[in-house]
Amino acid sequence: MNKVILVGNLTRDPELSETPNGVAVCRFSIAVSRDYANSDGTRETDFFNITVWRGRAENCGKYLKKGNKVAVVGSLQNRSYEDKDGIKRNVTDVVASEVEFLTPKSAQSGDSDDAPASTVRRERPQLEAIDDNQLPF
């Protein structure tokens, strides 16, 4: 099984582009704080590169900005390449299957009325009290 769930903040604005075949791809990175502090008492941070495809990529490119908090569900993918000096580099990316926008709309700079609903906090409706005699089972 290859599944990862991360919650963190964007370290830079997302980069939206298209493949030669016209498929949207969005790349960004997030900073995720570790659950524990080191011996100095400070919490360390890990940085993850995220890749998002198609319609989800377009939404990320349109609505996300540096500093926004997101939850990402996806899988790890390894790749390698040669840098300009001919040295082989290995990289691990998170290919996102889900991205949840966690920064409230009111906290985003440059708000627009067409922001996705997932950025707005909603209150749960109150449930009515039901007598046990009203249950169908």
Q: What is the CATH number of the domain that holds 21?
A: 2.40.50.140
Q: Do the domain assignments include residue 111?
A: yes
Number of structural domains (the chain) is 1
pLDDT in tens, 29-61: 999 999 888 889 899 999 999 999 999 999 999
Q: Do the domain assignments include residue 11?
A: yes
On whether the CB atoms of residues 64 and 8 are closer than 8 A, the answer is no
Range of the domain at 54: 4-34+43-117
Q: Do the domain assignments include residue 8?
A: yes
Q: Do the domain assignments include residue 63?
A: yes
Calpha distance 16→80 (Å, rounded): 22
Calpha distance 70→7 (Å, rounded): 6
Whether the model clears a pTM of 0.85, i.e. scores above it, the answer is: no
Q: Do the domain assignments include residue 28?
A: yes
Q: Do the domain assignments include residue 74?
A: yes
**Residue 10 in this model has a pLDDT that exceeds 50:** yes
